[in-house]
Amino acid sequence: MEAAGRLLLLLATASLLNSSFIHGRDIPERRLAKPPKATIKTIKWDNGDIFDCIDIYKQPAFKHPNLKNHKLQMEPSSYPFGVKAKNVSMDKLGPWHKSGKCPKGSIPIKRHVNTGLPIIRKNITFRPPASYNVGHQYAVIEYMAQSQTIQGLQATIDIWDPSLANPGGDFSLSQIWYIAGSGSDLNTAEAGWQVYPARTGDSQPRLFVYWTADAYSSTGCYDLKCPGFVQTSDQYTPGMALTPSTDNGQQNELGLVINKDSSTGNIWLYVDGTAMGYWPNSIYNTLQGGSNIVEWGGEILDSSGSGGFHTLTQMGSGYLPSAGYGLSSYIRNLLYTEDSQNWVAVTADVLQEIVPAPNCYNYSLESGQDGALWLFYGGPGCN
């Protein structure tokens, strides 16, 4: 498709971009963990997912040694400019609300699935020795702070259900990264969607959060699996199944904002404009002062040991960026802020790329009519 035609299509179809939180693909029987002792109520989705309602003060986060005397922040002290608190309709939130809602003072936590398979930690995406990234491949762009620290970033990511060469070990994800430090002091707050059957027990794309305070060595984990991320929303929760887009059809999107609270220093995550929870400032060291790098893009894990260069695990939609809108995966609203009020659109001249295997997974940047960049990225992998 000609570039001009693609840009017109981007804007003409903007009104068709609907919610991503609807479900139910049938999934096989899974071995579910026992409900947490603090469970108040259990809700079952039509697709088999089970969510336990937990007293908000008894959630896993507060087992972190740095959070013993932590004061729960129920909502941000102020919302970033352009982000407002929303009352989300029941239809948007998916099947669990049709079966009931968590009682006041509790939050829904997805019941853990026991697959018996090892869960691989995420990995460093920028400028590591080559040996660090064995098995991981990327199509990522990054912005490095020029003078001030970065207080937040945002993106709107369309959702897909990429196929995996080895469903028993591979994953494919699309996300945003909020980063500070380097080496063993690397700190991150991350969010996006991921297909990872070894972790979730199925191949549905799911909302995830992640963090580390020591370069993915011993701290941090996905979702609420370990103490760290504090969930405050009774509407959105890590592990929620998401509806994927369709080829040349409906493009379902996930709106994400990560923003540092100016009063507490806690790092808040907003999903489609709703504050879902936060990473407490006290679980970090270098990220306590803000970020010096933010990133947008995709990542795959090739569990075969080939280093990711010879795998057919798809990234994004599985199409290369040249396929264009409706086929190629994309991330739009590529914004960052240095003061939580003035959002800045990134420009191509200040971005660096992380694309180790461009024939397998690549990216391209295009400008919409409003001048903001769209990142098209992903690919089918390589034989």
Find all residues with CB under 8 Å of 196, minimum gap 6, and list them: 170, 171, 172, 173, 206
Query: Is-catalytic flag, 142?
Result: no
Residue 282 identity (one-letter amino acid)? S
Find all residues with CB under 8 Å of 145, minimum gap 6, and list them: 291, 292, 293, 338
Whether 242 contacts 253, CB under 8 Å: no
The rounded distance, in Å, linking the Cα atoms of 98 and 121 is: 34
9: helix, strand or coil: helix
Query: Is-catalytic flag, 29?
Result: no
Backbone phi and psi for residue 205, each to the nearest 5 degrees, phi listed first: -70, 135
Reduced to 3 DSSP states, what percent helix, strand and coil does the chain have, rounded to the nearest 5?
15, 35, 50
Residue of 253, 295, 299, 366 marked catalytic:
299
Place of tokens 């507490």: 264
Tell me 324's DSSP state.
-
Q: Which whole-number Å values give the CA distances from 221 to 54, 70, 84, 235, in the listed order?
A: 20, 20, 29, 22
H-assigned helices in 115-242: 197-200
The rounded distance, in Å, linking the Cα atoms of 305 and 311 is: 10
Task: Give the residue from 18, 15, 59 showing the smallest Cα distance to 37.
Answer: 59
Which H helix or E strand runs over 367? strand 362-367
Whether 178 contacts 258, CB under 8 Å: yes
Backbone phi and psi for residue 200, each to the nearest 5 degrees, phi listed first: -105, -15
Residue 363 identity (one-letter amino acid)? Y
Neighbouring CB atoms inside 10 A of 98's CB total: 13
Residue of 142, 190, 253, 338 marked catalytic:
190
53: helix, strand or coil: strand
CA atoms within 13 Å, Cβ hemisphere of 2: 3
Neighbouring CB atoms inside 10 A of 63's CB total: 12
Catalytically active residues, by annotation:
190, 299
